[in-house]
Amino acid sequence: MTSDMLKQSIQADTTEAMKNKDNFVVGVLRMLSAAVLLKEKDKRYKLKLEKDAELTDEEVIEVVTSEIKKRKDAIVLYKQGNRPELVEKEQKEMEVLKKYLPEQLSKEELEKLVRESIAKIKGEMKDPSTSSGQVMGKVMADLNPKIKGKADGGQVSRIVKELLIK
């Protein structure tokens, strides 16, 4: 897979949605494309490049994940504000965006990875009196590269806390 395969897929799906006159999907994908473009400009600025800075698929996945998180946050607020029509819109947008994430890990697979990380981190620790918060931070740092884009951070955090308490 080339480094910008995912970006090309988003562009092709936008074109397809336009042909099908699916304005909702076109809107969501244009928002996503704009977020990717913004991230590329930011990357170009940080690296002080003259030419365009293409995002890798991993970086595009980060953008998609960020856009999904924005939708989740908005859903919480819309539920509090009793706006079911906006909750539904945000959920539909999330479904369109999720198509661009790698296959999500099951709860069982996630728990297995968390257990392995906890065992690894506790095995490396020299001070047995280290707080569970410090252990959790180290476990999350160890897990992040393995699960990037494949699991919801909130879910991972809950599982780590549950397993550390046991």
The pLDDT value given to residue 50:
64
SS3 sequence of the chain: CCCCHHHHHHHHHHHHHHHCCCHHHHHHHHHHHHHHHHHHHHHHHHHCCCCCCCCCHHHHHHHHHHHHHHHHHHHHHHHHCCCHHHHHHHHHHHHHHHCCCCCCCCHHHHHHHHHHHHHHHHHHCCCCCCCHHHHHHHHHHHHHHHHCCCCCHHHHHHHHHHHHHC
Separation CA 42–CA 139 (nearest Å): 30
What does the pLDDT read at residue 22? 96
Per-residue pLDDT of the chain (166 residues; tens, 9 = 90+): 344 689 999 999 999 999 999 999 999 999 999 999 999 988 888 887 766 678 888 899 999 999 999 999 999 999 999 999 999 999 999 999 999 998 888 889 999 999 999 888 888 877 666 677 788 888 888 898 888 888 888 888 888 888 887 6
Topology of domain 107-165 in CATH is Arc Repressor Mutant, subunit A (1.10.10)
Give the pLDDT score at 19.
Answer: 97
Q: What is the pLDDT of residue 145?
A: 85
Domain ranges of the chain: 5-98, 107-165
Considering the domain 5-98, what is its CATH architecture?
Orthogonal Bundle (1.10)
